[in-house]
Amino acid sequence: MLPELLPRPPAIGNEEYRARRDALIAQLPANAAVVLPGASLVTRSHDSEYTFRQNSDFYYLTGITEPDALLVLLPGHDAGQSIVFCQDRDPTMEAWTGRRLGARGVEAEHGIDQAFENADREAQLPALLKGRELLYVPLDNPDALGIAEEAFSFAQVGLRRGRAPLKGWLDVSALIHAMRLIKSEAEIALLRHAAAISAKAHVRAMQASRPGLYEYQLQAELEHEFVWQGGSGPAYSTIVGGGANACVLHYIENRAALTNDSLVLIDAGAEFGLYAGDITRTFPVNGRFTEAQRALYQVVLSAQERAVAAIKPGATLVDVHQNVVKDLTAGLIALGLLEGDVQARIDDESYRRFYLHSTSHWLGLDVHDVGSYRLDEKTPRPLVAGMVLTIEPGLYIPDAEDVPPAYRGIGIRIEDNVVVTNEGYENLTAGVPKGMADIEALMVK
């Protein structure tokens, strides 16, 4: 029997993309312009490219998934404020790599005011930017900086003719990233679907697990489900760490055998419509926790559940993380992995030997999504409805002589995807069991 197919949410409509562009333009001075390149193909080997993935900021403002495109926003422009340069229509190339939208297709299918093919860019772009006094570009993008420098040179030549000078350029990324921090209902629907696909994949991997398999075989189970459900594949490199490999935070080799009486940590999520799922679960390879595994797992689970329950408008991720640190540190002391007073071990940061990372990150078009975590250097950003984030405490016990033998080489992380709502939160990834009894019941062979 074929696996169940989840019903897909609707795609984001052109009206929302236009509203985003209008909202960005509304933040700009009247005589400014935005220049935002999309992504290009990247060579993998000789004449083979990596699977194309659009630049997230460009996609957020356009919904266009073709490579080598450029967005220009011109406040007050008579012919329309949104202009896109795109790949040329080319019957020969389209026979090899598929249909290209062309300028008319970009206008018709994406609601762009005006579009040109890249063959016209050299002639059209300087004219579009003529007289604009300030450019907003992503300062970490060499292509955008090159365009800004060319525009500056062009403006300097025109100074003697009375043309308005280009005063310089600023970073557009912070403006876009502040917008991306709050998700729309349509975005949350896509994130909910990416989470649902990811959850089904984790359940599938749990049910497939048994001693003697290799980590990559569980990876195959996960990624099969991602694509079967219509996702583009993994949202990031899949982590399947058995035994002590779980103590390596970004372990992606996934080549080791899974052994009896060990745990396996899976950190994996599907990408759907360019939005990311991001789930971590840790479970026994053979379906049964040992006593030591159970004791350590409960420390992480209790901290994770309390952190999820704390998500609501007005809370801060700084407070959530600090409470997780207290819970984990108290658990480490209770198990004999640390000694003394909880606050003393927090103050001297000895807990960091076992808990190396933060508890949360934003989630969206990027798995570690954009947006500041603070209002300023001293003020954590309060959560508001529409933010989407992860909650992912963990403990990673080194195989060291000063560690009680029963705990050596155990790594545990539990991660859920959470939307902040007006009432509190919605856990998008509750479909994957994390209670020990529920995990064991699911894995019964």
Q: Which residues are catalytic?
A: 47, 250, 267, 278, 357, 361, 368, 392, 396, 413, 415
Q: What SS3 class is residue 48?
A: strand
| Spatial distance between the Cα atoms of 17 and 71, rounded to a whole number of angstroms | 13
| Spatial distance between the Cα atoms of 323 and 226, rounded to a whole number of angstroms | 34
The single residue listed with the structure tokens 């502040």 is 178
Q: List residues bridging with 300 in a β-sheet.
A: none
DSSP characters for 286-354?
Answer: TS---HHHHHHHHHHHHHHHHHHHT-STT-BHHHHHHHHHHHHHHHHHHTTSS-S-HHHHHHTTGGGGT
Backbone φ, ψ for residue 147 (5° rounding): -65, -40
HEC string for 273-296: CCEECCEEEEEECCCCCCHHHHHH
- Most distant pair of Cα atoms in the chain: their distance: 82
Q: How many residues does the chain have?
A: 445
Q: How many CB atoms lie within 10 A of CB 109?
A: 12
The amino acid occupying position 16 is E
Q: List residues bridging with 49 in a β-sheet.
A: 43
| Spatial distance between the Cα atoms of 144 and 138, rounded to a whole number of angstroms | 7
For residue 406, give both structure tokens. 């029963």
For residue 34, give both structure tokens. 């935005």
DSSP alpha helices (H): ranges in 49-119? 56-62, 91-97, 102-110
For residue 259, give both structure tokens. 């052994």
The secondary element (H helix, E strand) that includes residue 169 is strand 168-171
